[in-house]
Amino acid sequence: DQQVKQNSPSLSVQEGRISILNCDYTNSMFDYFLWYKKYPAEGPTFLISISSIKDKNEDGRFTVFLNKSAKHLSLHIVPSQPGDSAVYFCAASVGAQKLVFGQGTRLTINP
């Protein structure tokens, strides 16, 4: 039972353009959503998060959008930079407890 899904295993974007990573979830009890970035052989690094009472949160080049009716969230990175190349995971939780992760999307930024 995959409660959090990232349907695109990979994404390739030109440097300077916008990267959009998508995530769908099935559990309507999720009340907090997070995005993590992961480089090989390292642990996930927290990027940005959003509460279920909001529909948008922005932090510098990163913006997360939440559409509760569609049970969908997205991460926008603009402008994309070569250092953004990594695997991105979305995660969700209920009541600040365990995180449920998607399978990840590998983002490659091309110069």
Partner 1 sequence: DTGVSQDPRHKITKRGQNVTFRCDPISEHNRLYWYRQTLGQGPEFLTYFQNEAQLEKSRLLSDRFSAERPKGSFSTLEIQRTEQGDSAMYLCASSSTQGRTPETQYFGPGTRLLVL
User: Where along the sequence are the contacts to partner 1 (CB under 8 A)?
Assistant: 4, 6, 32, 34, 36, 41-46, 49, 89, 91, 93, 96-104
> For residues 97 and 111, which CB has a smaller minimum distance to partner 1 in the complex?
97
Q: 59: which strand partners?
A: 62
> For residues 80 and 105, which CB has a smaller minimum distance to partner 1 in the complex?
105
Burial class (CB in 10 A: 0-12, 13-18, 19+), 82: exposed
Q: How many residues does the chain have?
A: 111
At 62, the amino acid letter reads F
Smallest distance, partner 1 to C-beta of residue 17, A: 26
> For residues 71 and 78, which CB has a smaller minimum distance to partner 1 in the complex?
71
Is residue 43 within 8 Å of residue 71, measured between CB atoms?
no
Smallest distance, partner 1 to C-beta of residue 20, A: 19
How many other C-beta atoms lie within 10 A of the C-beta of residue 24? 18
Smallest distance, partner 1 to C-beta of residue 93, A: 6
Residue carrying the six token digits 């997205």: 74
Smallest distance, partner 1 to C-beta of residue 51, A: 8
